[in-house]
Structure 1
Amino acid sequence: MHAGGLIPSEVHQPKDPGTEEAFMRAIVFEDWQKFPILKDVEVPTPGPGEVLLKVAGAGACHSDVAIYNFEKDTRGAVPPSFTLGHENSGWVEELGDGVTGVRPGDACLVYGPIGCGRCKACSRGQDTYCENAASMPYLGVGLGRDGGMAEYVTVPVRNLVPLGDADPIAAAPLADAGLTPYHAIKQALPHLNGGGKYALVIGLGGLGQIAVQILKALTGATVIATDTKEEAMRTAEAAGAITVPGGDGQAERIRELTGGRGVDAAFDFVGVAPTIKTAAAVMARQSKLTIVGIAGGSYEWSFFTTPYESQLTNTYWGTIEDLHEVVDMYKAGQITPEIERFSLDDGLEAYRRLEAGQLSGRAVIVPHGF
């Protein structure tokens, strides 16, 4: 039995050295502003320091939609073509040269970012802030380098986080939807230490829902959550949040819940101008507002309207150390991602539903059977 208590059904066997090429199915971003396609590609071979991972689950993220909808010259665009999927988990299938510390069958979560491995940021496990990113051939697994929306994927062994007996399919979204809010919240914890603190979560999609769970587990703060979707707010309430619907009077209602003082830490998982404006309007003195959503919204700062010593910052993804801690929380039952499983054949439908806003949980593509 494989780690995680699951026995994935065989679809395609990886190729052995000296044999003819083997193929697998993959969801591929082929061209700018074109919907991805499901096609046959070669099963990859792990290079030195890499493993071949049999994919257990791959989360479909709004970032993927942005990737294939970008225009060619958009800042931050990642050139095609490559297999999508930067939220990945799986079982070690084959070891590349020099790989130690893992065995075939081990269940692992994948840290997606890949930096140069030499700069200060990479040395502390923060590949997202690699100082040499401009000279790298890709940003990470599923971000220029072939990702996990396939039956197999190659990954540097350094990027594997052991899952033990935990379910790897349900864990897949934690590689981004868990790691990103965890890093943002961890940076803001000094603002939430002590009694009588308030935290605000704006946007209750995959990241926002896990953010509520992390805040309840790591702090004693009263968690306020806001969204325009009734179902999303009910889910956040079940996790312990007090909810405020979006719309007229939203900021006023949030301030009322804090006794007029404002929140000590806010996390905007949308990042459009109106959500940033709402968050800024409810900040307390000496508070911290973190913009996590990459929607490109802007905010006009003023000394006379900004609470004294309040901070406005942004974060991007997180460190590999953070991901180890996220997995610890998952294994302890403190984080439970809400997922909807799709076969690889139905993966394109998952992206269509994601674009249409028709998913209640994180879509996870399961290439080798549920």
Structure 2
Amino acid sequence: MKAVVFENYKTFPTIKEVEKPTPGPGEVLLKVAGAGCCHSDVSVFHDYTPETGTHTKPPFILGHETSGWIEELGPGVTGFNKGDAYLVYGPTGCGHCQRCVAGEENYCENMATNESLAIGLGRDGGMAEYAVVPARNLVPLGDADPIAAAPLSDAGLTPYHAIKAALPHLRGGGKYALVIGLGGLGQIAIQLLKALTGATIIGTDMKPESMAKAEEQGVITVPSDENEVARIREITSGRGVDAAFDFVGIAPTIAAAQAASGIGSRVTIVGIAGGKGEFDWYTNPWEQELTSAYWGSMSELHEVAALYRQGLVTPEVETYSMDDALVAYHNLVDGKLTKRAVVVPHMGE
């Protein structure tokens, strides 16, 4: 079968023929419907080194945003029917710590000693015609389109986890939420905020086309420049937003999120650009929280899938055949994508 394989650090992945996998005990074989292209993949093959990529040692098949149809059950697996569609929960923890047994493998307490981060990040993922995954990591999609659902495994789950944790700050009338970075995750965050809260949503970005797309969803947009904080403060009658979500994560966006948020607010850094935040007892608003978020839990992905089945969250995707998978990654690297790229291995069948 064809697969997109990460073969070496600082090297673009390749499409190659690999052996079709066989599910072991507790596993299933999926006929892959869709596999999302993510900036985390780019970090793996573009930025990581043997020293920094200890959990993503090559070679392995990329693809940590995966959906597919049941093709074959491994020994001991029951309760699944061939052809049914599922979304794959990506994080893989130790399986036995307190976090893992609660379905929070994204926060595994033994991550430092695990061999991989996730399906598609350290172990073979879904950027292939077929993929083997643990049966317990499957989230049912019912009759909903599995191809468009693929990005929900990360691009949907990550903002959902961040927003759900901030809901106490957004309950009630007159609340404001700020979304910094209106790319793929930011646009899904807007849908989630609309589905889960009654907050007025403010969005900032440097790209006019991204702001225009957000405005179509009823978002008040502010250009990301030296006046953005003052403008946000003006929109909120001077008090600042109640919750801010930074999907960029560089020092200026973190600073803007803090400055634009008010007393008792929550600022969540979701973007992994590596920026550093600062705290000043005299200038930060009283009781302002600054936190981070990484992926989400297995139960939360079930909740995201439910919102998708209800039509409340729908990722915008552009699809690529397996033969064009590297084109999708090049477009991602070059900043040419306006939607989430999804590789469809069985396109046209």
Give the structure-1-normalised TM-score: 0.92
1:6 counterpart residue number: none
Letter in 2 for 1:179: L
The alpha-carbon deviation at position 75 of structure 1 amounts to: 6.3
1:297 counterpart residue number: 275
The alpha-carbon deviation at position 137 of structure 1 amounts to: 2.2
User: Is the 1:71–1:77 Cα contact (8 Å) retained in structure 2?
Assistant: no
1:147 counterpart residue number: 125
Q: Deviations over 1:58-77 (max 9, x none)?
A: 00001100011112222666
User: Is the 1:216–1:240 Cα contact (8 Å) retained in structure 2?
Assistant: no
CA distance in 2, matches of 1:98, 1:116: 21
Q: Deviations over 1:175-197 (max 9, x none)?
A: 00000000000000000001110
1:10 counterpart residue number: none
Letter in 2 for 1:37: T
- 2:37 paired with 1:27: no
Q: Secondary structure at the match of 2:66?
A: strand
Q: Deviations over 1:95-147 (max 9, x none)?
A: 00010121111100000011121111011110011112223221211011101
Task: Select which of 42, 45, 54 maps to 1:68.
Answer: 45
Letter in 1 for 2:276: S
The alpha-carbon deviation at position 86 of structure 1 amounts to: 0.2
2:28 counterpart residue number: 51
CA distance in 1, matches of 2:34, 2:296: 20
Letter in 1 for 2:133: V
- 2:259 paired with 1:286: no
1:120 counterpart residue number: 98
Q: Secondary structure at the match of 2:319?
A: strand
User: Is the 2:68–2:86 Cα contact (8 Å) retained in structure 1?
Assistant: yes
The alpha-carbon deviation at position 287 of structure 1 amounts to: 0.3
CA distance in 2, matches of 1:129, 1:46: 26
Task: Select which of 70, 90, 96 maps to 2:68.
Answer: 90
- 2:294 paired with 1:316: yes
- 2:180 paired with 1:202: yes
Q: Secondary structure at the match of 1:207?
A: helix
Ranges in structure 1 where 5+ consecutive residues have no aligned partner:
1-23
CA distance in 1, matches of 2:195, 2:178: 15
Task: Select which of 140, 146, 165 maps to 1:187.
Answer: 165
Give the structure-2-normalised TM-score: 0.98
CA distance in 1, matches of 2:178, 2:240: 10
CA distance in 2, matches of 1:221, 1:129: 29
CA distance in 2, matches of 1:354, 1:75: 21
Letter in 1 for 2:45: Y
Q: Secondary structure at the match of 2:18?
A: strand
How many residues get paired? 347
Q: Secondary structure at the match of 1:42?
A: coil
Q: Deviations over 1:323-365 (max 9, x none)?
A: 0000110011110100000001000000000011100100000
Q: Deviations over 1:143-175 (max 9, x none)?
A: 111011100000000000000000000000000
User: Is the 1:90–1:109 Cα contact (8 Å) retained in structure 2?
Assistant: yes
How is 1:1-370 mapped onto 2 (pairs within 5 angstroms)?
24-69=1-46, 70-74=48-52, 78-370=56-348
CA distance in 2, matches of 1:360, 1:75: 28
CA distance in 1, matches of 2:165, 2:276: 22
Letter in 2 for 1:328: A
CA distance in 1, matches of 2:138, 2:295: 16
User: Is the 1:67–1:77 Cα contact (8 Å) retained in structure 2?
Assistant: no
Q: Secondary structure at the match of 1:256?
A: helix
Q: Secondary structure at the match of 2:295?
A: coil
Q: Secondary structure at the match of 2:142?
A: coil
Moved over 3 A (4+): none
Letter in 1 for 2:115: P
CA distance in 2, matches of 1:248, 1:141: 40
Q: Between 226-235 and 258-267, report the one with greater CA deviation.
A: 226-235
User: What RMSD in Å do the two structures reach over aligned CA positions?
Assistant: 1.0
Aligned-pair identity (%): 64
User: Is the 2:58–2:122 Cα contact (8 Å) retained in structure 1?
Assistant: yes
User: Is the 2:246–2:253 Cα contact (8 Å) retained in structure 1?
Assistant: yes
Letter in 2 for 1:27: V
Letter in 1 for 2:61: T
The alpha-carbon deviation at position 294 of structure 1 amounts to: 0.6
